[in-house]
Structure 1
């Protein structure tokens, strides 16, 4: 029987046996770089590496070039026959060709259905974390892996640098991302990245300075109204204020999204208003929906109730809010805009 086991320093001998039976440089999906492999023969180094893998799963001590990641060893009858990992989010490199899930099966255990079973189990973990759809890639010439991914529902989305990119949409799982409570860290989705503003960006916004990574129509008047006027990096609760919406396909800033101030720490029933907007040329491509699917769960995980208002005839905005889990409350604001509410996290 195939099972996925958390990395365990007591399995040092089994790990080394697995590596000795792997026929490619490094270990695909093994959460280890090629230049680190030799050092893992030392039990102390190995134990420290296992601890690091567990930290990565918990989102602790993440190196700048890494993302939170669930690593598992594929075990059959006590033998490590493969490795598989699930990256909780996608940085630019992973979005281009690395994907959410990477895996490797030892040479002597291939063509036995191990990768198929392990991928199915890890997709279940992705569903539990709220990651949907899931990006899985393989080398263009890896026919076996290609069949495994397609058999799991992978839909081809082009190739980058010899890697076939496939998206797997999980049935009975809402579209979304792994949830981390809102912090100053960027939030990365399939289409956009939400980045907290820096002091330099705030000054540029209000001085009329143009930045090369800003879309031609950015900023809009609403972007200026919603951004801080003073030292944003000194603001308490800075994670709640406006963030840049960065389109990942070209790294252009196309709008802003954020909350109108942090919640009141003295009020356990605090409700926070969320606002957003985007330049006209970027609308109609799912970017706002993607941005809401990132920000709303992260803010909700901080234990607040969220609300938003939008014009009753702005059907695109209403649909985006509903896809992000908001429901109409029946109320309006002074401008007659519809009120939508998202339940407390």
Structure 2
């Protein structure tokens, strides 16, 4: 009788061991979205040596997304499917930044999530966010902000499915609060 292989979806810390999974996902992003989801790096950058620098920067906190103010504490995790009989497959990313300001402690911050294009429409974005809630709470975020384009119905439904509350719309973006 054949045995069934159980895949598990889990967050993994960025590491050079995940290079193949990360590059595979970035090719998917480039094909589906027109560019990789790699903090401004191109596929060529990633394939020619910048991958290790990206992982090191994520680990030390010195490779934040553009526009992040100094003093932001952050976390980035890669959401992967793992199986005992094969390498991990990257499904998406979770990035979190919050500001070390007493007035915002335990409240503010921003969360970014992305799902690789070939796996969108399967409910994975909501699953990723639900899986992230305990991690966000452990990092001191009770009500992080999630921002998505006003006209991106899929992203908005995803955030609302996980309990996101629309706070405002501005400059073409919908701003949600997500209670952890």
TM-score interval, smaller chain: 0.7 to 0.9
SS of the equivalent of 2:163 reads coil
Query: 5+ residue gaps in structure 2?
Result: 1-7, 83-87, 102-108
Aligned positions, number: 155
Indicate whether 1:14 and 2:24 are aligned: no
Indicate whether 1:41 and 2:47 are aligned: yes
Q: Equivalent residues in 2 for 1:265-344 (5 A)?
A: none
Q: Is the 8 A contact 1:2 1:117 kept in 2?
A: no
Counterpart of 2:85 in structure 1 is none
Identify the structure with bigger relative contact order (alpha carbons < 8 Å, sequence gap 6+): 2
Query: 5+ residue gaps in structure 1?
Result: 92-98, 171-345
Selected match of 1:115 from 109, 120, 125: 125
The CA RMSD measured in Å over matched residues stands at 2.5
Q: Equivalent residues in 2 for 1:29-108 (5 A)?
A: 30=38, 32-33=39-40, 36-37=41-42, 38-43=44-49, 45-56=50-61, 65-66=67-68, 67-77=72-82, 78-89=88-99, 100-108=110-118
- How far apart are residue 113 of structure 1 and its match? 2.1
- How far apart are residue 160 of structure 1 and its match? 2.1
In structure 2, the CA distance between the partners of 1:148 and 1:40, relative to structure 1 (3 Å rule), is same
In structure 2, the CA distance between the partners of 1:128 and 1:14, relative to structure 1 (3 Å rule), is same
Q: Is the 8 A contact 2:73 2:100 kept in 1?
A: no
SS of the equivalent of 1:150 reads helix
Larger gyration radius, structure 1 or structure 2: 1
Q: Is the 8 A contact 1:137 1:164 kept in 2?
A: yes
Counterpart of 1:132 in structure 2 is 142
In structure 2, the CA distance between the partners of 1:62 and 1:152, relative to structure 1 (3 Å rule), is closer
1:123-144 alpha-carbon deviations (Å, 9 max, x no partner):
2111001112110111112211
1:133-189 alpha-carbon deviations (Å, 9 max, x no partner):
11011111221111111111111111122110001123xxxxxxxxxxxxxxxxxxx
In structure 2, the CA distance between the partners of 1:17 and 1:61, relative to structure 1 (3 Å rule), is closer
- How far apart are residue 89 of structure 1 and its match? 2.7
In structure 2, the CA distance between the partners of 1:27 and 1:152, relative to structure 1 (3 Å rule), is farther
In structure 2, the CA distance between the partners of 1:90 and 1:83, relative to structure 1 (3 Å rule), is farther
Q: Is the 8 A contact 1:89 1:100 kept in 2?
A: no
* TM superposition score normalised by structure 1: 0.41
In structure 2, the CA distance between the partners of 1:162 and 1:7, relative to structure 1 (3 Å rule), is same
- How far apart are residue 106 of structure 1 and its match? 1.1
Indicate whether 1:166 and 2:172 are aligned: no
* TM superposition score normalised by structure 2: 0.76
- How far apart are residue 26 of structure 1 and its match? 4.2
1:292-323 alpha-carbon deviations (Å, 9 max, x no partner):
xxxxxxxxxxxxxxxxxxxxxxxxxxxxxxxx
